[in-house]
Amino acid sequence: MTTRIIALTILGLVMGFIILMASVSFFVRDPLPIVGPNQTLLLHTTELTPQIRTSVTIDGGYRVDVTVEHSEAQDPQIVLRPVGGEAIILDTGTDSGGAWSGSGQMTRPGRWELILSDGAEREIMPFIVRE
């Protein structure tokens, strides 16, 4: 009888652990995008209209190139910063199609925010830079 109780207890603990691990996907609804060296991350606004398309490219030395494609009626302000930190300085310019581009040096891996402002509207797009 005691052997069955021990076996049922172990079975209950194992099943509880499996159910806990399976339920993690229900808690993580919108994971942050992850980008690493020599990769490009594509981001699109959901709160700003018309939609602004952004690409963030990081090279092997963590130098970042940001390209922002927007409509002619928009004049977005762009800030790139680590979460809880100061914004990095971006060398900016526009190409012949009117797309905004900037480049700068990232200071560390971890959580970053690309903040786009167009007038009174503002959207924060978080992402993770991995090593």
Winning range, highest mean pLDDT, from 15-19, 31-35, 99-103, 117-121: 15-19
Domain shared by 20 and 43, yes or no:
no
With a cut of 80, say whether residue 96 has pLDDT above it: no
CA-wise closest residue to 93 among 121, 60, 70, 67: 67
Using CA atoms, how far apart are residues 45 and 53, in angstroms rounded to an integer?
7
Question: Beta strand pairing status for 110-118 and 121-129?
Answer: antiparallel
Largest CA distance in the chain: 81
Domain shared by 24 and 73, yes or no:
no
Domain shared by 53 and 99, yes or no:
yes
Q: What pLDDT digit, counting tens, does each position of 20-75 carry?
A: 988 887 877 778 899 999 999 999 988 888 889 999 999 989 999 999 988 888 88
User: What is the pLDDT at residue 49?
Assistant: 80
Domain shared by 77 and 99, yes or no:
yes
Domain shared by 85 and 26, yes or no:
no
Domain shared by 82 and 100, yes or no:
yes
Domain shared by 45 and 9, yes or no:
no
Q: What is the number of structural domains in the chain?
A: 2
Find the CATH number of the domain harbouring 95.
2.60.40.10
With a cut of 80, say whether residue 108 has pLDDT above it: yes
Angle at 34 between CA 33 and CA 37, to 5 degrees: 145
Could you tell me which residues come within 8 angstroms of residue 46 by beta carbon, excluding any fewer than 6 positions away?
123
What residue numbers bound the domain in which 16 lies? 1-30
Lowest mean pLDDT of 36-40, 74-78, 87-91, name the range. Answer: 74-78
Domain shared by 54 and 115, yes or no:
yes
Q: Could you tell me which residues are beta bridge partners of residue 118?
A: 121
> What value does the mean pLDDT of the chain take?
89
Rg, C-alpha atoms of the chain: 22
Residue 4: CA atoms inside 13 Å, Cβ hemisphere, count?
A: 1
Q: Could you tell me which residues are beta bridge partners of residue 91?
A: 103
Domain shared by 104 and 77, yes or no:
yes
